Chain A
Amino acid sequence: MSAPDIAISQRITTQRALRGRKVDPANIIFEIALILSLLTSLGFVILLLATVFSDGVGVFQERGFGFFTSNLSRIPEQAGIAQALFGSAALAVVVVLVAFPLGITTAVYLEEYAPDNKLMTLVRLNIRNLAGVPSVVYGLLGLAIFVKLLGTDMAGGTGITGGRTIISGGLTLSVLVLPIVVITSSEALRAVPASLREGAYGVGATKWEVTKKLVLPNALPGILTGTVLSLSRAIGETAPLILVGAFYGTFFTTGDTGTLGKFTTTYTALPQVIYQWATEAQSEFNVELTSAAICVLIGLTFVANIAAILLRNRYEKRW
């Protein structure tokens, strides 16, 4: 073989090597494994939804709106979620009134006002850690502080929260979601560019004027997304409510208290009713009614989640 021949054959080999086999079997197997793990997770979600829906749809077909307007009952055909829906809605109102203002103002201070010192670093660290505390521990906090400490006065009578009431439950859930509201609101505030603030300071605005007229309106979509998500988290929480005494059992009296009175008497909530029904022995309770109530709960949280995701995608600004 002459030298040019070798050069040519080498070139051909190199070209072949470079062109390569288009298909890399190991890579394809790896990719398939990855897709499978993703599909398994999504598959479980779909299976869960399908199971719950197929078990629960019968209740809606037979009872229609009766399921939403009936009170708790020992008789499966009469049991409904009216009290649970009221309780969950009332808890949500307390969360909106307590956790949202507190959380958003905390975020505003931390992002706009806070000096860069050790105390503020500690506050930030503390909020991140609070977000990771298990929800059942918040239930214990609610039991010790809102139900026992604030629920009884010095003489042993009922105190300002009234013991095991919607107020105590709502305050507990507020404390639970507060760190989430702070963290998501902080992120939204941080996304507002500094040039906007500097422009306003340049024309003589004070810090609060800048915050109120420029930063907050621009961060509002992000803040809303975070608050909606934390509200859906609050509606779905069960463990803390067990501890602060959402009603477990069957109401014997039905709706004989006024609207305001309902905030200071026995109450229950949707996840609590699901828990109760799921542990009953009869299959009418632990399959059909539980599934139907879960459909309602999932419906509520999904609507909130999807609203939040859409809101974020719609108003996501590129600065």
Chain B
Amino acid sequence: MGDMTSVIDAPSPSPLGEPAVDLRGNSRRRWRETRVKVVLLFSVGITLAISVAIIASLLGQSIDFINSIPLDNLWNFDQWAPRIGDFDIATLFVGSLLVTAIAMIIATPLGLGAAIYLSEYASPRVRRTVKPFLEVMAGIPSIVLGFFAIAWIGPEIVQKLFSDASAFSLAAAGIGVGLLVTPLVASVSEDALRAVPLSLREASYGLGARKLTTVTRIIFPAAISGVVAAMILGISRAIGETMVVTLAAGAYGEANFTTNPLDVGMTVTSGIATLASGTDQVAGGAGTAASSAYNSLFFLGLLLFIVTFLLNVVGESFVRRIRERY
């Protein structure tokens, strides 16, 4: 009915030759469209606000932190003990580096191998059965893998292989993180391998190449940017992983500088988590020593944010490259 009246009420033809009938529909419907659009735009604004809030909250307190401590304190290969004012981030950097390296040594062959098998060798039936398992594996909470790392990986793998390893170690944490990252590496590189067009495989077989040659010399090189992306995203995930390291690497609240993966150690992430655990003044942020310890949380967070952000941007650009090519 509303439409009828709007047609009748429509303005008479203007001398400029505008249409006689108002085609925009009735005003109630148009008003609803506008309302919906405003609500939706509000949500979009929130996502932008979150990024601004992350950067603002990290940056503000990081600057306070930098101003509150002597700068040579930040890099002296001594120890990370924020509660007593020792802020050597080299300790945490080396810890993160060791854990990430061990994680990728585990995750690359496992994830890539699984990806090549599922994409090139497995029958559709096997693929359909196995893929959900990998997806479930990706859904295991990291605290669970952290417990597995102390309960099994530490004593049964690390200490069996290296008798001088401590019960908690960066190596055990690294293996745990590696298992956590494996499904991610597998899924991103499988997507890349499956994106390689069938015509390439057919051409290779047509020239008489055997399966092994086709996979290693044709398909793998064609999908290489996707595989690189999988590795970069895996590294980014491993650097950001918190709970496995917090539980399995053993250091709690403070850590000595070490380059030995068999030692107790700490990463940037577990530095944040263990410093925030407990109910002392760090959590409350009172007092001068405590407040630079409290602010150091945000400084570590900022470093972590920058590193993972850069890795993700590079990783994404590699993913886009393979998507554009085929």
A45–B143 contact, CB under 8 A? no
Q: A136 interface residue, CB < 8 Å from B?
A: yes
Check A133–B43 contact: CB distance below 8 A: no
Contact of A132 among B50, B141, B277, B308 (CB under 8 A): B308
Q: How large is the interface on A (under 10, 10 to 19, 20 to 34, 35 or more residues)?
A: 35 or more
Whether A97 is near chain B, meaning CB under 8 Å from some CB there, is no
The contact of B44 among A110, A143, A294, A304, by CB within 8 Å, is A110
B interface residue numbers (CB < 8 A to A): 25, 29-30, 32-33, 36-37, 39-44, 46-48, 50-51, 53-54, 57-58, 60-61, 109-114, 116-118, 121, 130, 132-137, 139-148, 150-152, 179, 182-183, 186, 210-212, 215-216, 233, 236-237, 239-243, 246-247, 252, 269, 272-273, 276-279, 283, 285, 297-298, 301, 304-305, 308-309, 312-313, 316
6 A-B contact pairs sorted by A residue (CB < 8 Å): A42-B130, A114-B44, A127-B47, A136-B269, A297-B141, A305-B136
Assess the A144–B57 pair: CB atoms within 8 A: yes
B199 to chain A: closest CB distance in Å? 22
Interface check A275, CB cutoff 8 A? yes
Interface residues of B, dominant DSSP: helix
- The answer to whether B39 and A105 touch across the interface, beta carbons within 8 angstroms, is yes
Q: Which residues of chain A in 166-223 are interfacial with respect to chain B, using CB atoms and an 8 Å cutoff?
A: 175, 178-179, 182, 204, 206-208
Using a CB–CB distance below 8 Å, which chain A residues touch chain B?
Answer: 24, 26-27, 30-31, 33-38, 40-42, 44-45, 47-48, 51-52, 55, 101-103, 105-106, 108-110, 113-114, 123, 126-130, 132-141, 143-145, 148, 175, 178-179, 182, 204, 206-208, 229, 232-233, 235-239, 242-243, 245, 248-249, 271, 274-275, 278-279, 287, 290-291, 294, 297-298, 301-302, 304-306, 309
Closest chain A residue, CB of each to CB of B243: A238
> A106 and B50 in contact (CB under 8 A), knowing A133-B309, A236-B143, A298-B144?
no
Residues of B within 8 A of A33 (CB): 113
Given contacts A27-B210, A271-B143, 10 further A-B contacts (CB under 8 A): A34-B121, A38-B117, A40-B110, A45-B133, A106-B43, A140-B301, A144-B57, A179-B47, A236-B144, A238-B142
Tell me the minimal C-beta distance from A303 to chain B in angstroms. Answer: 11
Chain B hits for A138, CB < 8 A: 54
Closest Cβ neighbor of B57 among chain A residues: A144
Please determine whether A27 and B276 come into contact, CB atoms closer than 8 angstroms: no
Closest Cβ–Cβ distance, residue A184 to chain B (whole Å): 13
Residue of B nearest to A42 (CB): B133
Contact status B269-A132, CB under 8 Å: no
By a CB distance below 8 angstroms, the chain B residues around A38 are: 110, 113-114, 117-118, 130
The answer to whether A45 touches B39 (Cβ under 8 A) is no
Chain A residue at minimal CB-CB distance from B134 = A41
* Chain B residues, CB < 8 A from A137: 54, 58, 240, 301, 304-305, 308
Cβ–Cβ contact A134 & B143, under 8 A: no
C-alpha spacing A287/B116, complex, angstroms: 37
Q: Decide if A208 touches B33 in the complex (CB within 8 Å).
A: yes
Contacts of B297 in A (CB 8 A): 140, 143, 243
Taking a contact as CB atoms under 8 Å apart, the answer to whether A134 and B44 are in contact is: no
Instruction: Assess the A123–B47 pair: CB atoms within 8 A.
Output: yes
**Complex formed: what's the CA distance from A253 to B86 in Å?**
37
Q: How far is the CA of A139 from the CA of B210 in the complex (A)?
A: 52
How far does the Cβ of B110 sit from chain A's closest Cβ, in whole Å? 5
- A105 to B136, Cβ gap below 8 A? no
Contact check, B269 vs A239: say whether CB atoms are below 8 A apart: yes
Whether the Cβ atoms of B312 and A132 lie closer than 8 Å is: yes
A139 touches B276 (CB 8 A): yes
10 residue pairs, one from A and one from B, having the closest CB atoms? A134-B240, A37-B113, A236-B141, A144-B57, A109-B40, A34-B117, A132-B312, A239-B242, A105-B43, A38-B114
Once the chains are docked, how many angstroms separate the CA of A47 from the CA of B276? 32
Question: A233 to chain B: which residues have CB within 8 Å?
Answer: 139
* Chain A residues whose CB sits within 8 angstroms of the CB of B273 once the complex forms: 136, 239, 242-243
Bound together, the chains give a CA A287 to CA B155 distance in angstroms of: 14
Q: Does B212 lie within 8 Å of A24, measured CB to CB?
A: yes
Q: Which residues of A contact B237 (CB under 8 A)?
A: 132
Check A305–B211 contact: CB distance below 8 A: no
